[in-house]
Structure 1
Amino acid sequence: LSSCHMLWFLDFACRAGWRVDSYTDAAVGTMAKDAQGRLVVAHVQLRPVTRFDAAHAPSTEVLADLHHQAHAACFLANSVKTQIDCAPVLEVEGEGA
């Protein structure tokens, strides 16, 4: 899920003219039993950290929109029943990041 989301995010960012300097994610998955008592991955939280230079950084609103687009396009996210949340972090080089 994390890699699929990242690839779509980078694609949409590139199409919009943004230059991403680095992208990391420390996704976390939570296991739980479903209604039938089977163990499943019930929740995944993506925690992408995206770094841009100060002269070319999007707003946090634009960053959030890029992540929404990536989530909507991610074929893996569209194929699973798991709840997926995204908690993006914007880092800007040269602004104390």
Structure 2
Amino acid sequence: MFGEHRYSVRATWTGDRGTGTSGYRDYDRAVTIEIDGKPDLLASSDKPFRGDPARWNPEDLLLAALSECHLLSYLHVCVGVGVVVTGYADEASGTMLEDGKGGGAFTEVVLRPRVTVADASMVDAATTAHAKAHELCFIANSVNFPVRHEPVIVVD
């Protein structure tokens, strides 16, 4: 599986209200994100940036990508160390700061996975597995801000 992997996506702006971008308030931030063979994802900018709060925004998608990548990396690590995971739910949050010039950046993301394991003897290894999962997560390795973990491990 070692090697280069390529990904592609189509993002189509669907927010022309008839006058294009003639003014900042004259267009909708609606976007349709498409990948062949997958359901379309309806997106927008975040509400503070004149977006539709009912649609996914780039900040949501980044946070979701980090959470899911850690989850999948974690499950992989657990198999290798003999931890049987029977449940996993994450309550992730992120902080983004605007720079006052129209831009900004995330300053950190905190993942709060609640992991259920099959046996009490697995709790220590399940806790330790988060560090290895973080090392393996492609998305966490691609961002320039800290991604912290505050796991809770419970026994089934």
TM-score class, shorter:
0.7 to 0.9
Q: Closer, same or farther in 2 for the Cα pair 1:63/1:19, shift >3 Å?
A: closer
* 2:81 aligned to which of 6, 16, 25: 16
* 1:71 aligned to which of 129, 134, 139: 134
Secondary structure at 1:57's aligned position in 2? Answer: helix
Q: Which amino acid aligns with 1:73?
A: L
Q: TM-score, normalised by structure 2?
A: 0.53
Matched residue, 2:40: none
- Larger RCO of the pair (alpha carbons < 8 Å, separation 6+): 1
Q: Deviations over 1:25-58 (max 9, x none)?
A: 0100111135x77321211000001001335533
Q: Deviations over 1:46-83 (max 9, x none)?
A: 00010013355332xx2232000000111111111121
Percent identity of the aligned residues? 37
| Bigger helix fraction | 1
Q: For the Cα contact (< 8 Å) 2:127–2:153, is it kept in 1?
A: no
Measure, in 2, the Cα distance between the counterparts of 1:64 and 1:56. 12
Q: Give every structure 1 segment of 4 or more consecutive aligned residues whose post-TM-superposition deviation is greater than 6 Å.
A: none
Matched, 1:80 2:143: yes
Q: Closer, same or farther in 2 for the Cα pair 1:82/1:19, shift >3 Å?
A: same
- Greater gyration radius: 2
| Bigger strand fraction | 1
Secondary structure at 1:82's aligned position in 2? Answer: coil
Q: TM-score, normalised by structure 1?
A: 0.82
Q: Structure 2: give runs of 5+ residues left out of the alignment.
A: 1-65
Q: Structure 1: give runs of 5+ residues left out of the alignment.
A: none
Aligned pair count reads 91
Measure, in 1, the Cα distance between the counterparts of 2:120 and 2:104. 47
* 2:103 aligned to which of 9, 31, 38: 38
Secondary structure at 1:81's aligned position in 2? Answer: coil
Secondary structure at 1:90's aligned position in 2? Answer: strand
